[in-house]
């Protein structure tokens, strides 16, 4: 990997193919964590209200994630245009503002609100590296991954004064948000019930569904069918609720038993054991594939990336 900064070094980093963030941010195992990130976002009162006031959330809560990811990941993988992409993502949120039920005003670009949205994506990447890999993430690499995530945040053009200083401070702040800031609201209540439905939505209906072009015809054939959507619902529900902090599950009355935990660990273990066999063409989100090709001329397989 690139020369590693010290634990407290938050100088500007060049995020490229040799960074830890490139290794995991666009890894398709984010599919196992992205739903959790989206749910944690809706639990923030301002984000939840913004979805109610400024989106078609109740009619299509899933497409939002697919539409958001190319920009979010492009802020990492778009090479010389990554900062431009980040600014575009930020500016998309300029007019998302309004009033909460308690009379307080909210704005999507409030630093603490915007940071929480980013923190859920940071946590998504962290968990791919720490929960869906066979190799344990070292403390040094965990710190570096967080510092790289701070540079990711800066690319949105947001003031970095809200960024926790280091990994330990980040974990404490995430825990504080989970205890004190997140609250049940119409958006989070709806999404939790939506996840509990007996069948997942037809994800192929989204133009941003990240299927490989060679697999898109098969996805378009199978995903609209009820048997397939019903079969995918239990494992999807398991990984979304399983990725939540236990405190959040308790606060939002999400049932989680020892049986759920055993099944969740079994899924993670199976993916971690077999991921190195995944071909390069299927291992990356389309935005990451494009970034790898643009910066290195090839798309690495998980086995190659894992060997570095």
Each residue's pLDDT tens digit, 106-154: 999 999 999 999 999 999 999 999 999 998 899 999 999 999 999 999 9
Q: Residue 12 has what pLDDT? A: 53
Q: What is the pLDDT of residues 52-84, one digit of tens each?
A: 999 988 888 887 788 899 999 999 999 999 999
pLDDT band at 207 (very low <50, low <70, confident <90, very high): confident
| 26 CB-contact burial (10 Å; exposed 0-12 / middle 13-18 / buried 19+) | buried
With a cut of 90, say whether residue 234 has pLDDT above it.
yes
With a cut of 50, say whether residue 180 has pLDDT above it.
yes
The dihedrals phi and psi of 199, each to the nearest 5 degrees, come to -145, 145
Hunting for tokens 């407290």 — which residue is that?
A: 8
Establish if 264 belongs to a structural domain.
Answer: yes
Average pLDDT score over residue span 294-304: 94
Q: For 190-221, give one letter per residue: b (16+ CB within 10 A) or e.
A: bbbeebeeeebbbbbebeebbbbeeeeeebee
DSSP state of 106: E
Establish if 220 belongs to a structural domain.
Answer: no
Q: How many domains does the chain have?
A: 1
Q: Are 120 and 128 in contact (CB under 8 A)?
A: no
Establish if 204 belongs to a structural domain.
Answer: no
The mean of the pLDDT values for the chain is 93
Q: Are 18 and 1 in contact (CB under 8 A)?
A: yes
CB count, 10 Å around CB of 295? 16
The pair of three-digit structure tokens given for residue 36, joined into one six-digit string: 């959790």
DSSP state of 161: G
The pair of three-digit structure tokens given for residue 145, joined into one six-digit string: 């991954």
Nearest partner of 3 among 168, 136, 171, 140, judged by Cα: 140
Establish if 210 belongs to a structural domain.
Answer: no
Residue range of the domain that includes 232: 20-199+225-303
User: The pTM is what?
Assistant: 0.93
Q: Is the dihedral of CA 180, 186, 189, 195 positive or negative?
A: negative
Q: Residue 209 has what pLDDT? A: 82
d(CA 191, CA 63): 13
Hunting for tokens 């006031």 — which residue is that?
A: 53
Establish if 188 belongs to a structural domain.
Answer: yes
């Amino acid at each position: 990997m690139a020369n590693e900064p010290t634990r407290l070094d938050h100088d500007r980093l060049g995020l490229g193919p040799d960074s830890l963030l490139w290794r995991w941010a666009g890894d398709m195992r984010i599919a196992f964590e992205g739903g959790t990130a989206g749910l944690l976002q809706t639990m923030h009162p301002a984000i939840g209200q913004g979805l109610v006031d400024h989106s078609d959330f109740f009619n299509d809560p899933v497409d939002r994630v697919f539409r958001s990811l190319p920009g979010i990941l492009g802020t990492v993988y778009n090479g010389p245009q990554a900062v431009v992409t980040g600014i575009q993502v930020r500016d998309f949120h300029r007019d998302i503002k309004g009033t909460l039920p308690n009379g307080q005003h909210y704005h999507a670009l409030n630093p603490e609100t915007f940071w929480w949205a980013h923190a859920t994506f940071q946590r998504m990447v962290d968990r791919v590296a720490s929960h869906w890999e066979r190799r344990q993430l070292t403390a040094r690499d965990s710190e570096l991954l967080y510092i790289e995530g701070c540079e990711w945040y800066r690319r949105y053009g947001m003031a970095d004064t809200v960024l926790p200083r280091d990994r330990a401070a980040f974990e404490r702040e995430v825990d504080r948000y989970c205890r004190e800031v997140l609250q049940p609201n119409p958006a989070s209540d709806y999404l939790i019930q939506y996840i509990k439905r007996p069948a997942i939505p037809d994800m192929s209906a989204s133009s941003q569904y990240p299927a490989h072009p060679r697999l898109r015809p098969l996805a378009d054939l199978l995903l609209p069918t009820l048997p397939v959507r019903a079969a995918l619902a239990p494992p999807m529900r398991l990984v979304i609720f399983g990725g939540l902090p236990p405190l959040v599950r308790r606060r939002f009355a999400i049932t989680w038993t020892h049986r759920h935990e055993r099944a969740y660990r079994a899924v993670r273990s199976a993916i971690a054991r077999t991921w190195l066999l995944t071909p390069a063409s299927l291992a990356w989100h389309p935005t990451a594939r494009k970034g790898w090709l643009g910066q290195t001329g090839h798309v690495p397989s998980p086995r190659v990336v894992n060997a570095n």
